[in-house]
């Protein structure tokens, strides 16, 4: 996994601050492969929030929070948020959870 300890702490703090203490986060995509280089940061977040407008607002705030930290400044970050809304869910949710690394 190509994520530093400070980056792990930063993403976990941003998720807790913006989605609550019960939210969970996974790293998925190219950054899970130690043999690859570069790539954006793909994070999958599960939250108890069920209001789509609130989820979008918190996602944008979390991204701003991360971009304001030295560990993610000028980095491309994708946040995939799974709200507590009944499915059907996009396949990316299952893939990110199954192939990702829970932080």
For residue 22, pLDDT over 80 is answered with yes
pLDDT confidence bin for 38, thresholds 50/70/90: confident
Q: What is the DSSP string of 51-92?
A: -HHHHHHHHHHHHHHHHTSTTTTT--EEEEEE-S--S---HH
For residue 13, pLDDT over 80 is answered with yes
- Per-domain boundaries in the chain: 5-102
- 55-61: long-range pairs with CB below 8 Å, 24+: 55/81, 55/83, 58/18, 58/19, 59/18, 61/18
Mean pLDDT of 88-97: 90
pLDDT digits (tens, 9 = 90+) for 44-72: 999 999 999 999 999 999 999 999 999 99
CATH tag for 5-102 (out of 3.40.50.300, 3.30.460.10, 3.40.50.10860, 3.30.479.30): 3.30.460.10
CA–CA separation, 16 and 14 (whole Å): 5
The whole-number pLDDT of residue 39 equals 83
The whole-number pLDDT of residue 12 equals 97
């Amino acid at each position: 996994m190509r994520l530093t300890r400070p980056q792990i702490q930063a993403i976990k703090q941003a998720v807790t601050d913006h989605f609550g203490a019960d939210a969970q986060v996974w790293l998925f995509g190219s950054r899970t492969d130690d043999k690859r280089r570069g790539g954006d940061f793909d994070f999958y977040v599960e939250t108890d929030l069920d209001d789509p407008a609130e989820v979008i607002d918190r996602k944008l705030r979390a991204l701003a929070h991360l971009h304001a930290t030295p560990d993610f400044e000028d980095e491309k970050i994708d946040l995939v948020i799974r709200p507590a809304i009944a499915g059907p869910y996009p396949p990316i949710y299952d893939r990110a959870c199954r192939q990702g690394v829970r932080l």
